[in-house]
Amino acid sequence: MDIWDDEIDEGRIFHEGIGLFNRGRWFEAHEVWEDIWYLASGERKTFYQGLIMCAYVMVHVQRGSPRGVKTSYASLAYKFKDLPGEFMGVEISLLQGEMLGYIKPILGMGRGCFVASLGSGQLLPVDLADAPRIRLAYDPFNERFKI
């Protein structure tokens, strides 16, 4: 069972994070989701960690850090691996597939691009306008779908 502070509205924060993510405000989405991640447990905690890692992958894309993209995606894949194909209205396998498809050109860059000393600011072979979006199959906070 999750312990929620009376001041925290999980549904509002969940949706706010999705809105930020879909508008390309990945760092802010990451920060917002952390507000509910630390209160969750079990699969919900893992799910929120996966969403946070999706946002973090995109932060690394935005910053031009192929090494950060690669390591963050590995963490994302690990967080999502034991979750059902659909969780809290998000089709996990679809989201993960879209994330991988989007970053595949980055993962295919030469080995020299992944050197830690290069840091960020590298030109990456993707267009931020084509970034994956999170779509809900249903609203998990609607009373009919309450988890």
The pLDDT tens digits of the residues spanning 113-139 come to 888 888 899 999 999 999 999 999 999
Between 66-80 and 42-63, two packed helices, what is the crossing angle to 10 degrees?
A: 160
* Helix segments in the chain, DSSP class H: 10-22, 26-37, 42-63, 66-80, 92-107
pLDDT of 6 > 60? The answer is: no
Question: Is 102 within 8 Å of 132 (Cβ atoms)?
Answer: yes
pLDDT at 1: 39
pLDDT at 2: 47
Q: What percent of the chain has pLDDT over 90?
A: 80
pLDDT band at 8 (very low <50, low <70, confident <90, very high): confident
3-class DSSP assignment, residue 121: coil
pLDDT of 66 > 60? The answer is: yes
Question: Is 89 within 8 Å of 138 (Cβ atoms)?
Answer: yes
pLDDT at 147: 43
Instruction: Estimate to the nearest angstrom the gap between the alpha carbon of 131 and the chain centroid.
Output: 12
Domains of the chain, earliest start first: 10-138 (1.10.3450.10)
pLDDT of 68 > 90? The answer is: yes
